[in-house]
Amino acid sequence: MGYYDETDLRNENNDHNNKRYNKGRRGGSHVLTGFIGAVIGAVTISLVSPNLINTTNESEIGNENQTPAQVINVSREDVTSTIQTARKFVVGVNNYQSSNPFSMDTQEAGSGSGVIYKKVGNKALVATNNHVVSGAKQLKVKMADGKLVDAKLVGTDELLDLAVVAIDAKYVTNVANLGDSEKINVGETAIAIGNPLGFLESTVTQGIVSSKAREIPQDIDGDGVADYQTQVIQTDAAINPGNSGGALINAKGELIGINSSKIAEQSVEGIGFAIPINIAKPVFDQLEKFGEVTRPVMGVGLKALEEIPQFNIEESLKLPESVTRGAVVTHVDPGTPAAKVGLQQLDVIVELDDQPIEDVIAIREYLYSHKKVGDKLKVTFYRDGKKQDLTLTLASSN
Share of the chain above pLDDT 70, in %: 76
- State residue 330's pLDDT score: 93
- Of 342, 341, 337, 367, the C-alpha closest to 355 is 367
Query: How confident is the prediction for the chain on average, in pLDDT?
Result: 80
Instruction: Report the C-alpha gap between 302 and 59 in whole angstroms.
Output: 31
For residues 212-224, average pLDDT:
77
Q: Which residues of 271-310 are buried (b: 16+ CB within 10 A; e: fewer)?
A: bbbbbbbbbbebbbebbbeeebbebbbbbbbbbbbeebee
Domain 31-50+294-396 maps to which CATH number in 3.40.50.720, 2.60.40.10, 1.10.260.30, 2.30.42.10? 2.30.42.10
Q: Give CA–CA dist 298/349, Å, rounded.
A: 12
Question: Between vectors from CA 220 to CA 215 and to CA 225, what angle results, nearest 5°?
Answer: 80
pLDDT, one tens digit per residue, over 127-169 is 999 999 998 999 999 999 999 999 999 999 988 899 999 999 9
| 251-284 pLDDT per residue, tens | 999 999 999 865 544 456 678 999 999 999 989 9
| Percent of the chain residues topping a pLDDT of 90 | 52
Any idea which residues carry the catalytic annotation?
131, 161, 244
pLDDT for position 60? 40
pLDDT tens-digit readout, 178-206: 999 999 999 999 999 998 766 677 789 99
Burial-class residue 268 by CB neighbours within 10 Å (0-12, 13-18, 19+).
exposed
Question: What is the pLDDT at residue 31?
Answer: 37
Give the pLDDT band of residue 52 (cuts 50, 70, 90): very low
* In the predicted structure, residue 46 carries a pLDDT above the cut 70: no
Least confident of 39-53, 72-86, 151-165, 349-363: 39-53
Phi (first) and psi of residue 367, to 5 degrees: -65, -45
Where does the pLDDT of residue 227 fall: very low under 50, low under 70, confident under 90, or very high at 90 and above? low
- According to DSSP, residue 187 is labeled T
Please say if the pLDDT value at position 56 is more than 60: no
Kindly indicate the confidence band of residue 74, based on its pLDDT and cuts at 50, 70 and 90. Answer: low
Per-residue confidence band for 99, with pLDDT thresholds at 50, 70 and 90: confident
